[in-house]
Structure 1
Amino acid sequence: MGVFGKLGDTFVDLSVILWDNGIAILNLLTPKLKPGQVVPEGCPGHNGRWPEYVPPKEGDSRSACPMLNAMANHGILPHDGKNITFKELNTKVRETFNFASSFCFFVPNFSARFLNKSYAKDKFDLEDLSLHADNAIEHDASLTRQDKALVADQGKPDLELVHGLLKEATGKMPDGSPKLTIPDLSRALAKRRTDAKRTNKEYSESFFHNTFGSANSSTMLTIFGGRVDDLTPMLTEERFSEKWEPRVLDRYGLTMAKFNGTVIPVASGVKKYQKEE
């Protein structure tokens, strides 16, 4: 990419940050959405009514992201996980999980960049997002996948890792059911990174990948509210639980600005627990 291309990307990123901050302010000034009405009317999942879950079959494309895979498994994205436009991903993620429009543009646009594709014109398969590269979003020490150097197929969860993560939950919902907390995630990430370094001779990490790993994990606390009852089918089967809806009630969706209020404490906690080991 030339200098002008990089300057263009920087301008877009700065514009998205300003856009995101504007949405964050709007969310503060407008009423919250009512439970049951988070997914827009007419969209899959409205009032907790999700399309039928169909597990992936041989030849279907899946990513390292349980949430995207669940969308394909329920037919919100193409069930085969192939030939998806970045614009389609933007719209469907916005409707399904109540991320802000700024957030839903930024991540697909960033994905198009590291895949050397056009956000406006090109298509991708879900497995393309599992590209293991310094500038890509797939990373070692995932909480739901073994490292790509050990397991090439990143489209399937490692159930031992998932169950180990869910057992970390120390919080409680009002009904007494388990709930993951910020310290739980920080502790799990610290342990996972330590274990991955020991078992994967090709292990690599960077500030970017560690930050993305903390952000990826933080969706469990924001979009899912840390509720283990909802996270269990999502992480083990990549399926929405019955009557589930996003736990973010902000009228214009979860912004990156607000999301950082969870990501930063999670990432800081990882450093704390790593020092204690």
Structure 2
Amino acid sequence: MSSSSTNSHPSTQTSTPEHEHPQGSCPVTGKTYNFCPAQAGDVRSPCPALNALANHGYLPRDGKNIGPLDLARALKSGYNISSVLAYILSFGSLLLLGQYRSLSLSDLARHNLIEHNASLVHKDDRNGAEYAPTKVNKRLLEALCAQGGKVLPDRMTLEDAAHIRVKREAECGQLDGVHAEIARGEIVIAIGVLGGKDAAKNGVTISALHEWLQHERLPAGWKPDHTQGLYQTYKMTKYVRDRMGEIKAQKPPVKL
């Protein structure tokens, strides 16, 4: 992980609409990409990655009326995701939601479209509600972080991710093929982006992952040190998928 501050990002992008505060204007107005958590009236999703982008101002801080190009630009600027992967994620999200012009982050909580059961940090939607929980569950977050460190000290690796995904799906039930792939992609992109250019082998520090998930905030002193591309993400996701199958069959790991 880089030691540069998140405030070192260039301020050339168009500013996003500010949200309202009970005390008046947002305290980070005019401060490019500074963190400010969601306020009353703001909406957020079950996706910590997108919530963090809104909390830092890469997306509208209120979380509303986000077009696919806005979403792609935020993914590229905030996480240095490649253009191809950013456009696939952005336009794919609207397609899965059946919304073709814009979305609000809360739309992503509609159950069993993009959101799914067996999340690593969110409770399942068990009551048939249209919208699933968006708050990170503390018990699940601690269980996720406790799974780390088994391969490398104080790090969450792809091997760890495969084990925790197997555990969650054993607890909650098997996911269909589409949602299983989405679930793997979520943790893979988190490790790949936050862990840096060597994340495929070395994973991400557990402290950085915990801060990002708990507070939906970019880790202190972090900025992207590489472009997270489609092929790299595919290889990492395939490793997790293959390892999950091997874990279920109780086979030893292979080198990535």
Task: Tell me the alpha carbon deviations over residues 164-220 of structure 1, each in whole angstroms, 9 at most, x when there is no partner.
Answer: 1111112687xx6x11112111110000111113xxxxxx62111111111111123
Q: Could you tell me which amino acid in structure 2 is paired with residue 206 of structure 1?
A: D
1:230 maps to 2:204: no
Q: Offset of 1:272 from its aligned partner?
A: 2.3
TM-score w.r.t. length of structure 1: 0.72
Task: Tell me the alpha carbon deviations over residues 55-91 of structure 1, each in whole angstroms, 9 at most, x when there is no partner.
Answer: 2233321111101001111222112111111110111
Name the structure 2 match of 1:272: 246
Q: Could you tell me which amino acid in structure 1 is paired with residue 159 of structure 2?
A: P
Using CA pairs below 8 Å that are at least 6 residues apart, which structure has the higher relative contact order?
1
Q: Which runs of 5+ in 2 are unaligned?
A: 14-30, 196-203, 251-256
**Contact 1:43-1:95 at 8 Å conserved across structures:** no
TM-score w.r.t. length of structure 2: 0.78
Q: Percent identity?
A: 24
Residues 43 and 166 of structure 1: CA distance in aligned 2, closer, same or farther (over 3 Å): farther
Q: Could you tell me which amino acid in structure 2 is paired with residue 168 of structure 1?
A: Q
Q: Structure 2 CA distance, aligned partners of 1:255 and 1:268?
A: 20
1:262 maps to 2:236: yes
Q: Which runs of 5+ in 1 are unaligned?
A: 1-33, 198-203
Q: Structure 1 CA distance, aligned partners of 2:146 and 2:122?
A: 16
Give the structure with the higher percent helix.
Answer: 1
1:214 maps to 2:159: no
Q: Structure 2 CA distance, aligned partners of 1:52 and 1:79?
A: 11
Name the structure 1 match of 2:106: 127
3-state SS of 2:249 partner: helix
Name the structure 2 match of 1:169: 148
* Paired positions, count: 222
1:143 to 99, 117, 120: 120
1:154 maps to 2:133: yes
The root-mean-square deviation of aligned C-alpha atoms, in Å, is 2.7
Q: Could you tell me which amino acid in structure 2 is paired with residue 106 of structure 1?
A: I
